[in-house]
Structure 1
């Protein structure tokens, strides 16, 4: 089927108290593996790319891969810009054909974040493309993203003003998660998430979820998280699959053979996370 936008998927998730997994894809093989997982689980799926990934091949290359996957799929597929870091990149993704856009102004002062985010919603909404904003900080480092803010939590009252003034369709919140590999066990601030949910009536988004214990993710979904991002663990799974194959077959030289092992690891990981966020059977 054709690519769809994230708006209806996330609103359905909000109404029915589940979340849609958003998985960062780095190459054709990861796109194929994520789609295979979605088909197996009959789950809606969001595939996404960050600015650093886009630098590697370009918006058009990744969109072509995901659009082809969607055309073969029996489940809804969204192509999302993850952590768009400028108005220009957001507009490039919009014009290229991405069906969901994130603009991340969370490093900016509050007023500047509002101005940047509103400029993107003003441009995308006439074309019926939904926009995700971010308020608060997600710590750690992944891709070209880095944040070590000492007070990363989203302020619930600021969130209300932010949503009212920007008209975002979904909001990524800072509740203690971090990008990259955790050095210890993460502890998500469920209480703060509940305070934010009580004041907003739009889907909420959880970033930096690789490594977060599944029980904490489930608690977040119960309190309004409708989109759950996974990136680092997909890279790790793909790489582990390839390394294991090469270790067992040191003379191997056909990329198709060892890539299949990486794909199998990614598919298994994604399927398990679909069960965690509750999207299995929701396509």
Structure 2
């Protein structure tokens, strides 16, 4: 079933778990994410980043996801991840996305607030929920995200940002990275606790890949309701492809793609189970 992301995350906030938001780019990655969620009987967010639009038609992609979601037995939402352009967000809204993320983290606070507020007003008119970011995550290994400054979220500014923009959920920078960590992770859980005390909307953790499992559970206990995952799933798929090419002289593409889908589904299931935060 296809539902609004805000509704999904409000339930996660109320019941103390987090929803996995998988970055996807193809039929196989979407099918794997939904199948993984159905196997674990948990909701899932299908996330398409703006950076993939040169090779992924947003309208066709949305119709594909909506069709698969309507047949699913668990809640599914379709989310636009890390969009920097208003035009992209409007295209996503028209295509039927359930939520959009406007990333204004590269701007100063006043500009970020002004742009984000405009996006929130537009999206809310269409009944679409909005994610935004304050602070900026650094880029780790194997990531295809843009380089960030690594500046952590200021709790007081986060409270001001949420109040003035009217966003529905907030991505807080607490030391995670996009991609895999280079060195030991340094996640500021005390900072997250302080942000949670100042902000009452669902909080989002970007950079789920490579983050220690006990740290993930602590972030959920401190109010994280949505966790983005991309790089670890990508690595699993690429490693499977390497193994296929190393052992097979010839193989039909359809078989290769089926093999990759079979490989990444268990990886997705493990994240969904972890984020369920059940003892």
Per the TM superposition, whether the score is higher than 0.5 is yes
Aligned: 1:123 with 2:130: no
Aligned to 1:98: 97
Q: When the two structures are superposed, what TM-score results if normalisation uses the length of structure 2?
A: 0.95
Aligned to 1:226: 225
5+ long unaligned stretches in structure 2: none
Q: CA deviation at 1:279?
A: 6.9
Would you say how many aligned residue pairs link Structure 1 and Structure 2?
276
Deviations 1:115-167 (A, max 9, x none): 11100110011221100010111111643511134xx1100000111000000
SS state of the match for residue 238, structure 2?
helix
Change (3 A) 1:221 1:144: closer
Q: How does 1:1-283 map to 2 (within 5 A)?
A: 1=1, 3-140=2-139, 142-149=143-150, 152-252=151-251, 254-278=252-276
Q: When the two structures are superposed, what TM-score results if normalisation uses the length of structure 1?
A: 0.94
Q: CA deviation at 1:244?
A: 1.6
Deviations 1:1-54 (A, max 9, x none): 3x2110111000001110000000011111111111011111100011111112
5+ long unaligned stretches in structure 1: none
Deviations 1:41-68 (A, max 9, x none): 1110001111111221221132122112
Question: Do 2:79 and 2:98's aligned partners in 1 also have CA atoms closer than 8 Å?
Answer: yes
CA RMSD of aligned residues (A): 1.4
SS state of the match for residue 57, structure 1?
coil
Q: Give the distance between the partners of 1:218 and 1:140, measured in 2 at CA.
A: 22
Question: Do 1:241 and 1:258's aligned partners in 2 also have CA atoms closer than 8 Å?
Answer: no
Q: Which runs of 4+ in 1 moved over 4 A?
A: none
Q: Give the distance between the partners of 1:144 and 1:197, measured in 2 at CA.
A: 26
SS state of the match for residue 20, structure 2?
strand
Deviations 1:184-229 (A, max 9, x none): 2312110100000011110000001211111111110000000000
Q: CA deviation at 1:172?
A: 0.1
